[in-house]
A and B are shown apart, each in its own frame.
Chain A
Amino acid sequence: MSVLEKVRPERPAATAREPRVTDDGRRVRPAELLWRYLLLLAVLALTTGPFLWQLATSLKGPTEDIYSSPPSLLPAHPTLHNYARVADTIPVWDYALNSLKVAVANVVTNCVGSALAGYALARLRYRGRRVTTLVFVLAMLVPVEGIVIAQFTTMRELGLNNTLIGVVLPGAVGAMNVLLMRGAFRALPHEIEEAAYVDGADVWQRFLRIALPSVKGTLAVVAIFAFMGAWDDFLWPLIVLSDPSKFTLTIGLNYLHGTFANDERLVAAGTVIAVAPLIALFACLQRYFFRGVGEGAVKG
């Protein structure tokens, strides 16, 4: 911050005459640009620094002092040793596989279930449609944290506690996703489907061949948020899973932290394994992540 304080008063009025035009057509004075970038870099350090520190810790060898003061930011002799050790301590790759199974299942069930239900709510006319819509709106308003205990007793009654199916089921068709898909289908012009209807296409053909391909974008948003939600979830798997061989990554990490808390290198390696796939996914599919925030916020 002290750097900024110095820069601002020194801003010469003359620089305003040589404006730099950005691609949104606004003029930015060089001095303003400078302090903008300084602020951006400061926030960058704050938001991504912790991840990088975790990565650095996971790469430090057993002989390197990770508690040194002043801290050494980069590993002196980078090694993947900790990743091998974390796999010896907890079955981290099995946990990753469990997380992957849960996340993929959640993507499939949410895409299929919410597309079908969303289409019914948006495009099909039947007695009880309003009630169906209301059911999903109400379900969206129920806070999950308030019903986890009852969800757990329900799972026990079904004999599905301590199974990965039990982890997936409660969120298998998210009410918000149904309403998102409903909104996407409603935004489609009626004319296309009507033409198909006149040509004799039945409801399944209209759904699969015409409506569904037109809402791919929203479907991608649903898929990504279903994946992220399942991969990141903590409270529900913590409650429903008790057998360490069934753990997902988040629960396994919590277990690792609780049991081997004194070995920061191991925990760091574990967290890197858990977060890397999502950061990669985010890097590839950013615009859907951002789009999902907007749509989720409006609907939620």
Chain B
Amino acid sequence: MATPLRVRRQLPTSPWLFAAPGLLITGAFVLYPFVSTLVNSFTDRRTLLPGRFVGLANFRELLHDDMFWTGLRNSVLYVLVVVPALVVLPLLLALLVRRNIPGITFFRSAFYTPVVASIVVVGLIWVWLLDERGLVNSVLETVGIGRIGFLSDQWLLLLSAMAVTVWKGLGYYMVIYLAALANVPRELHEAAAVDGAGPVRRFLSVTVPAVRSTMVLVAALSSVAAFKVFSEVYLMAGPSGGPAGEDTTLVMLVQRTGTGLTGRVGYASALSVVVFAVTVALMLLVLRADRREEA
């Protein structure tokens, strides 16, 4: 296909002209900031002051920074709770909406609505729902359980934020699973049913193996997203991260440390490097777990 004639007849610059806008934006606002994050992590740069090279000082400081460990703990907890929920629940939901029974397209669309809404809208909706005097507590009081301080207790707050993340992600992963389920041959299910397998058994030995690679994909996507959680916790716990900052996540710490006129860009960059490292590690971990299971 790559005839030399064709190459010569093109204007020599035109392929680069086509790629130029994309390359320019990507280079200037993604790759350059990425490299400069790595470089800055070895400096004491501040928003208004150019930095000096300080070697590993930022990383040494990290090890003794309680806030860093709090942030890392919360972000890791986020992955541990949110990912299993987002791997399993959307699959069950997809099974529920898979059959083309009357009205099902309406349900599918309705279940997707939280995905479309901004995380800010979603966060504020749930802040109001889970408020001390909000709807959830009104209902709990009416049925006699009593009011629960979802947004005032450190752990309940984090758990509530996790629930919101799951709530917002359900529809998205449901659609991914629906595409995967469409490829599961119906004969497998029918054969299993003939052999006397009940619905649970069929789910575990027919459906799950058939969509296993999709489950790995969902695990990979959702774990990376969960580790980088910012908005839900920021909105529900407030900019300072809840009681005594105990609900701060790692990305919240990056934002808090690195912005403003006195922002410590160098230290925030070191925190960002940890975000990169864990993100890459999570991807590798999921892919490796996948390969081991396959073997």
Interchain CB contact (< 8 A) of A120 among B15, B121, B258: B15
**Contact: A145 with B228, CB < 8 Å?**
yes
A257 at the interface (CB under 8 A from B): yes
Instruction: Report the bound CA distance from A152 to B37 in whole Å.
Output: 11
Instruction: Report the bound CA distance from A175 to B16 in whole Å.
Output: 16
A214 at the interface (CB under 8 A from B): no
Interchain CB contact (< 8 A) of A28 among B17, B31, B101, B119: B101
**Contact: A121 with B19, CB < 8 Å?**
yes
**Contact: B279 with A116, CB < 8 Å?**
no
**Contact: A146 with B275, CB < 8 Å?**
yes
B196 at the interface (CB under 8 A from A): no
**Contact: B118 with A232, CB < 8 Å?**
yes
Interchain CB contact (< 8 A) of B128 among A54, A169, A238: A54
Q: A54-B128, A152-B258 are in contact. Are A113 and B99 (CB under 8 A)?
A: no
Q: A53-B135, A297-B217 are in contact. Are A44 and B120 (CB under 8 A)?
A: no
**Interface of chain A: mostly helix, strand, loop or mixed:** helix
**Using Cβ atoms and an 8 Å threshold, which residues of chain B touch A232?**
117-120
**Contact: B135 with A71, CB < 8 Å?**
yes
**Contact: A117 with B112, CB < 8 Å?**
no
1/0 per residue, CB under 8 A from B, across A138-174: the answer is 1100110111111111101000000000000110110
B22 at the interface (CB under 8 A from A): yes
Instruction: Report the bound CA distance from A77 to B137 in whole Å.
Output: 23
Among A11-19, A78-86, A215-223, A267-275, the one that faces the other chain is A267-275
Instruction: Report the bound CA distance from A51 to B142 in whole Å.
Output: 22
A36 at the interface (CB under 8 A from B): yes
Interchain CB contact (< 8 A) of B221 among A119, A147, A300: A300
**Using Cβ atoms and an 8 Å threshold, which residues of chain A touch B285?**
none
Instruction: Report the bound CA distance from A22 to B100 in whole Å.
Output: 6
**Contact: A274 with B255, CB < 8 Å?**
no
Interchain nearest-CB distance for B283 vs A (Å): 9
B53 at the interface (CB under 8 A from A): no
**Contact: B113 with A48, CB < 8 Å?**
yes
Q: A145-B275, A294-B175 are in contact. Are A154 and B7 (CB under 8 A)?
A: no
Interchain CB contact (< 8 A) of A267 among B28, B29, B128: B128
**Contact: B120 with A132, CB < 8 Å?**
no
**Interface of chain B: mostly helix, strand, loop or mixed:** helix
Instruction: Report the bound CA distance from A24 to B104 in whole Å.
Output: 12
**Contact: A149 with B268, CB < 8 Å?**
yes
**Closest residue of A by beta carbon distance from B45:** A153
Instruction: Report the bound CA distance from A274 to B28 in whole Å.
Output: 31
Instruction: Report the bound CA distance from A197 to B120 in whole Å.
Output: 50
**Using Cβ atoms and an 8 Å threshold, which residues of chain B touch A51?**
113, 117, 125
**Contact: A152 with B116, CB < 8 Å?**
no
Q: A36-B99, A126-B7 are in contact. Are A253 and B126 (CB under 8 A)?
A: no
**Using Cβ atoms and an 8 Å threshold, which residues of chain A touch B239?**
258
Interchain nearest-CB distance for B80 vs A (Å): 19
B224 at the interface (CB under 8 A from A): yes
Q: A154-B33, A290-B175 are in contact. Are A278 and B19 (CB under 8 A)?
A: no
B245 at the interface (CB under 8 A from A): no
Interchain nearest-CB distance for B265 vs A (Å): 6
**Contact: B141 with A135, CB < 8 Å?**
no
**Contact: B120 with A150, CB < 8 Å?**
no
Instruction: Report the bound CA distance from A207 to B10 in whole Å.
Output: 13
**Using Cβ atoms and an 8 Å threshold, which residues of chain B touch A233?**
118
**Closest residue of A by beta carbon distance from B98:** A24
A7 at the interface (CB under 8 A from B): no
**Using Cβ atoms and an 8 Å threshold, which residues of chain B touch A24?**
99-100
A188 at the interface (CB under 8 A from B): no
**Contact: A275 with B118, CB < 8 Å?**
yes
B287 at the interface (CB under 8 A from A): no
Interface residues of A in 241-290 (CB under 8 A from B): 249-250, 253-254, 257-258, 264, 267-268, 270-271, 274-275, 278-279, 281-283, 286, 289-290
B30 at the interface (CB under 8 A from A): yes
Q: A136-B22, A153-B265 are in contact. Are A278 and B117 (CB under 8 A)?
A: yes
Interface CB pairs A-B, < 8 A, 20: A53-B128, A125-B6, A136-B22, A139-B26, A139-B30, A149-B269, A150-B33, A150-B40, A153-B33, A170-B30, A178-B26, A232-B118, A232-B119, A235-B230, A250-B118, A267-B128, A271-B120, A275-B118, A275-B121, A294-B175
Q: What 13 new A-B contacts, CB under 8 Å, besides A129-B15, A297-B217?
A: A22-B99, A23-B100, A47-B114, A50-B129, A57-B128, A71-B139, A71-B142, A135-B31, A138-B31, A143-B276, A150-B34, A154-B29, A250-B118
Interface residues of B (CB under 8 A from A): 1-2, 6-7, 10-11, 14-23, 25-34, 36-37, 40, 47, 93, 96-97, 99-102, 104, 107, 109-114, 116-121, 124-129, 131, 133-135, 137-139, 141-142, 167, 170-172, 175-176, 179, 186, 217, 221, 224, 228, 230-231, 235, 238-239, 251, 254-255, 258-259, 263, 265, 268-269, 272-273, 275-276, 279
The 10 closest A-B pairs by CB, nearest first: A117-B22, A150-B33, A149-B258, A120-B18, A232-B118, A126-B15, A170-B29, A69-B138, A124-B15, A67-B133
